[in-house]
Amino acid sequence: MTEEIREQPKKRMLSGIKPSGDLTLGSYLGAIRNWGARSEEFDCFYFMADLHAITVRQNPADLRRRTLEQLAQYIACGLDPEKNTLFIQSQVPQHAELGWVLNCYAMFGELSRMTQFKDKSAKNADNINGGLFTYPSLMAADILLYQPDYVPVGEDQKQHVELCHTIARRFNGIYGDVFKLPEPYVPKVGARIMSLTNPTAKMSKSENEDTGRVLLMDTPETIMRQFKRAITDSDTENCVHYDKEKKPGVSNLMTIYSACTGKSYAEIEQEFAGCGYGKFKPAVGETVVETLRPIREEAQRIMKDKAYLESVYKEGARRASFVAEKTMRKVYKKVGFIGR
């Protein structure tokens, strides 16, 4: 008698990005480009973290626009809605519900030690609100709602994920095995893209200096202008050579060119031997233009199809809510709430 062979369910992964700025070339080459392949291996949940965005004052119309644009850009970058659950955080009310419950299991001292709270408080001294303080509790809820096996962890979020584990262990210690503790997932290393005007700092979607970044939706003319302004290095050699310490500007441009073309640094050095920065910078710009062109055009097409975009985020919210509600029912029962 042969046993029936059953296909093992995929491990679950979850990640969210705030729609508080526009996605950059750095976001794409460093992370998003690799996300599409994950759906073959994992059950992926990706969300627009708009609840987190309002800890800093937002223009309502801009926030709505950026949320939908980010969703369209995700799809244009290769995240198939049929293979990934794509949703908007505020459309799944269980995030806020579990966030409040976990507030009651997060200690004041733990929240006050969060580095991001200190940094954002310094930058927004006139708006140090409660949401900024309890941000990690909501982030823990984002994760624990879906009982994921893995959570991609960036350097700036390690502390929050560690607190998530602390809160989950505390809750499980009181009520039993309620939350799965996800393992940190170290993603395939993408290109670390730095600012074009400050090559010692990461290219940021919230960067104030527009000249330092390239956005996914920038026009070819804007992209070329950004690269022509890019900082190279104040050396007398004027040669294309990779040296991150001594030549950070040129090395950053080489990283971008390598990520877009697949060429090694040695091949790039050979290609531009004797050319100088004057020819190299426009060449990098043209390569980026062609890399981003299909993404921009597809995202623009999707944004015009309002019915399709609405169907994606509604279906995503439905699928996410189905999973989240299972967790919420268990949590509410454990803490003593009347079942709904």
Which member of 10, 83, 180, 202 is catalytic? Answer: 202
- Using alpha carbons, list the distances in angstroms from residue 262 to 29, 146, 265, 282: 12, 36, 10, 18
What's the farthest any 2 CA atoms get from each other in the chain? 78
Q: Answer yes or no: are the C-beta atoms of 214 and 25 closer than 8 Å.
A: yes
Q: Residues near 1 by Cβ (< 8 Å), separated by ≥ 6?
A: none
- Rounded Cα distance, 167 and 107, in Å: 9
- Annotation marks residue 246 as catalytic: no
- Annotation marks residue 244 as catalytic: no
Q: List the Cα angle 66/315/339 in 5-degree steps.
A: 110
Q: Answer yes or no: are the C-beta atoms of 88 and 50 closer than 8 Å.
A: yes
Which member of 18, 205, 247, 281 is catalytic? Answer: 205
- Annotation marks residue 120 as catalytic: yes
- Using alpha carbons, list the distances in angstroms from residue 295 to 259, 299, 302: 16, 6, 10
- Rounded Cα distance, 234 and 248, in Å: 11
Catalytic positions are 120, 202, 205
